[in-house]
């Protein structure tokens, strides 16, 4: 039998990607940018090439929804095979279990699984992929994928004939610009020249693709929405932040910032009201978040007990503790006498300029908006750090939530206001519990400054507060 090997004709940007996909260094490659940048073609053709070069290997194509994988990426797959004159008799598609298998010819024995990467509440940790074994794989439209799906899948490669063929496990991720883990783990480090070994990022533009640049260009020119246009037409990863009051890079920088640590400790807590919400508490030293605790479906009595022991163990004054005071949170505030209750809808707190002693003219709709704006200013000025040991998933939650804290589009003379909690919940699909816990730290910025004396003692520094209200 005559062996056939597909001959590819990538355009220069795809060629760059091939160099990474075929080298002995790269394990994770993100090829991401504008629509029409040749992303899907690259993924299909790379897998085709690998199946033919290395018969018996096993690969996957994963996308958020299998129906969309079938409705678009699979169609490109068929076109790629036709383009390379692969005989129909060489392969079959199993519609029941969704895999492509080469049954004849040079690639005989190779196989590609089509995976549905959608988040399923009954499988939050993507354990359904936990026992799969692949040579390598491709995540299509990575912007739609939960971080955990990526995190699990990257451990499932390098397990099928990689040793026999001396193949490095490789994961290709194609995507449009998205402000999620792709930005944080690939785009930002790429921009700063800090990509870890084995990671690569290639920015793709529709103008790179000579096959369709004209037709895509005409279509993309008609996009009016500026954010969508920036992402899909211009392949711009730093697209507008849609009124988010937080600068995106500044949010991410919190995890690596070092800020001056004061001696003052605080605890801020968002207490769960409903079954699904999380109770999230954070312990701060100055503006550094040192510890984060969260629980789901926890009764208020347990919350009170845990909060009390955290306050005591960390030596936090009760008056340096703030818990939200709506609904269930109020119960905790009542039981822990001396802690502050945070009422988001309360009137903003008047501030006095410490130098001029004059009241600072600020115009906020309510206390919640006031604290969000003050907190955002601190974050954007790189004055907040998070040293608490957090998982990638927890970081992801924080980043996602803060991005949804947007200002309403007011005319200049109206009070500054944050969009309603309901619209934030709608955008996130959950309550912004971490963001609320963080924002409440700003509450202490609004309290009159206290005089305090530091006493050096065996075992550390103890702060003695004087003249503290409440
Ligand atoms: N190497 C190639 N050889 C031949 N044709 C190609 C090649 N790369 C891309 N094309 C052509 O360009 C078209 C657009 O490419 P592709 O679908 O891969 O872009 P995309 O970045 O996935 O676009 P979208 O953002 O719409 O998903 C393909 O349908 C194909 O016709
Ligand atoms: Mg595509």
Instruction: Report CA 457 to chain centroid distance, whole Å.
Output: 43
Phi, psi at residue 174, to the nearest 5°? -105, 145
The ligand placed nearest to the CA atom of residue 231 is: 1
Distances (CA, A) of 360 to 345, 355, 376, 379, 397: 20, 11, 18, 21, 34
Burial 12-48 (b: 16+ CB within 10 A, else e): ebbebbbebbeeeebbbbbbbbbbbbbbbbbbbbbbb
Specify the length of the chain in residues: 470
Residue 57 CB–ligand 1 contact under 6 Å:
no
Given a contact cutoff of 8 angstroms between Cβ atoms, the answer to whether 54 and 161 are in contact is: yes
Tens-digit pLDDT profile for residues 135-153: 999 999 999 999 999 999 9
The ligand placed nearest to the CA atom of residue 31 is: 1
Determine which helix (DSSP H) or strand (DSSP E) holds 464, and give its type and residue range: strand 460-466
Output 242 or 210, whichever has higher pLDDT.
210
DSSP H helices in 23-86: 39-53, 66-68, 74-83
Domains and CATH numbers, the chain: 12-233 (3.40.50.300), 248-451 (3.30.420.240)
- C-alpha to C-alpha distance for 366 and 349, rounded to whole angstroms: 9
The DSSP output letter for 207 is: G
Average of pLDDT values for 225-229? 81
The ligand placed nearest to the CA atom of residue 79 is: 1
Answer yes or no: is pLDDT of 361 > 90: no
Q: In the prediction, which pLDDT does 78 show?
A: 97
At residue 261 the predicted structure's pLDDT band, cuts being 50, 70 and 90, is: confident
Given a contact cutoff of 8 angstroms between Cβ atoms, the answer to whether 203 and 33 are in contact is: yes
As a whole number, the mean pLDDT across the chain is 89
Answer yes or no: is pLDDT of 75 > 90: yes
**Greatest extent of the chain over all pairs of C-alpha atoms, in Å:** 91
Cα-to-centroid distance, 395 and ligand 1 (Å)? 34
At residue 470 the predicted structure's pLDDT band, cuts being 50, 70 and 90, is: very low
To test the ligand 1 pocket, which listed residue (33, 35, 38) has its Cβ within 8 A of the most ligand atoms? 38
Q: In the prediction, which pLDDT does 129 show?
A: 96
Average of pLDDT values for 416-436? 88
Strands, DSSP E only, in 169-287?
171-175, 199-204, 265-270, 278-285
DSSP string, 310-344: HHHHHT--GGGEEEE-SHHHHHHHHHSTTPEEE-T
Cα-to-centroid distance, 4 and ligand 1 (Å)? 23
- C-alpha to C-alpha distance for 15 and 159, rounded to whole angstroms: 26
β-bridge partners, 59: 112, 136
Q: In the prediction, which pLDDT does 148 show?
A: 92
Classify 373 as helix, strand or coil.
Answer: helix
In this structure, of 196-205, 276-285, 460-469, the range with the lowest mean pLDDT score is 460-469
Tens-digit pLDDT profile for residues 116-142: 999 998 998 999 999 999 999 999 999
β-bridge partners, 227: none
Q: In the prediction, which pLDDT does 466 show?
A: 32
Q: In the prediction, which pLDDT does 275 show?
A: 61
The radius of gyration computed from the CA coordinates of the chain, to the nearest angstrom, equals 27
Report which ligand 1 atom has the smallest distance to the Cα of 37: 21
Report which ligand 1 atom has the smallest distance to the Cα of 45: 1
DSSP H helices in 223-316: 226-228, 248-253, 300-314
Name which residue sits closest to atom 11 of ligand 1, judged by CA: 211
- C-alpha to C-alpha distance for 137 and 78, rounded to whole angstroms: 18
């Amino acid at each position: 039998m005559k062996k056939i090997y597909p001959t590819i004709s990538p355009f220069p940007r795809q060629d760059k990607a091939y160099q990474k996909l075929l080298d002995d260094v790269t394990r994770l490659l993100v090829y991401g940018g504008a629509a029409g940048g040749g992303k899907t073609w690259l993924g299909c053709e790379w897998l085709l090439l690998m199946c033919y070069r290395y018969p018996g290997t096993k690969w996957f194509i994963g996308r958020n929804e299998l129906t969309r994988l079938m409705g678009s990426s699979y169609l490109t797959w068929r076109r790629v095979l036709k383009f390379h004159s692969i005989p129909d008799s060489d392969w079959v598609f199993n519609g029941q279990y969704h895999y492509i298998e080469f049954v004849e010819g040079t690639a005989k024995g190779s196989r590609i699984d089509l995976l549905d990467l959608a988040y399923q509440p009954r499988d939050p940790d993507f354990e359904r992929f936990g026992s799969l074994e692949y040579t390598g794989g491709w995540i299509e439209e990575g912007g739609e994928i939960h971080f955990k799906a990526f995190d699990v899948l990257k451990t499932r490669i390098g397990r099928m004939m990689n040793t026999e063929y001396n193949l490095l496990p490789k994961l290709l991720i194609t995507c449009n610009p998205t402000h999620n883990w792709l930005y944080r783990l690939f785009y930002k480090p790429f921009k700063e020249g800090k990509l870890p070994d084995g990671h690569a990022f290639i920015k793709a533009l529709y103008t790179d693709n000579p096959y369709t640049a004209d037709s895509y260009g005409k279509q993309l020119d008609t996009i009016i929405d500026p954010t969508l246009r920036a992402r899909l037409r211009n392949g711009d990863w730093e697209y507008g932040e849609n009124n988010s009051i937080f600068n995106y890079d500044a949010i991410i920088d919190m995890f690596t910032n070092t800020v001056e640590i004061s001696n003052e400790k605080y605890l801020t807590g968002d207490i769960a009201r409903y079954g699904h919400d999380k109770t999230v508490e954070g312990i701060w030293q100055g503006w550094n978040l040192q510890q984060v605790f969260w629980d789901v479906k926890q009764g208020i009595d347990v919350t009170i007990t845990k909060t009390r022991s955290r306050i005591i163990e960390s030596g936090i004054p009760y008056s340096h503790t703030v818990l939200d005071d709506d609904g269930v949170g109020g119960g905790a505030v009542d039981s822990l006498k001396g802690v502050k209750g945070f009422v988001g809808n309360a009137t903003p707190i008047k501030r006095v300029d410490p130098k001029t002693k004059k009241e600072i003219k600020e115009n906020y709709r309510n206390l919640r908006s006031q604290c969000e704006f003050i907190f955002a200013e601190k974050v954007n000025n790189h004055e907040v750090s998070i040293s608490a040991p957090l998982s990638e998933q927890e970081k992801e939650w924080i980043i996602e939530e803060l991005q949804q804290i947007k200002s309403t589009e007011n005319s200049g003379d109206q009070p500054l206001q944050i969009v309603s909690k309901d619209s934030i919940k709608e955008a996130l699909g959950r309550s912004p519990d971490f963001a609320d816990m963080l924002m409440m730290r700003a509450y202490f910025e609004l309290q009159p400054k206290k005089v305090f004396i530091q006493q050096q003692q065996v075992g550390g520094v103890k702060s003695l507060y004087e003249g503290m209200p409440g």
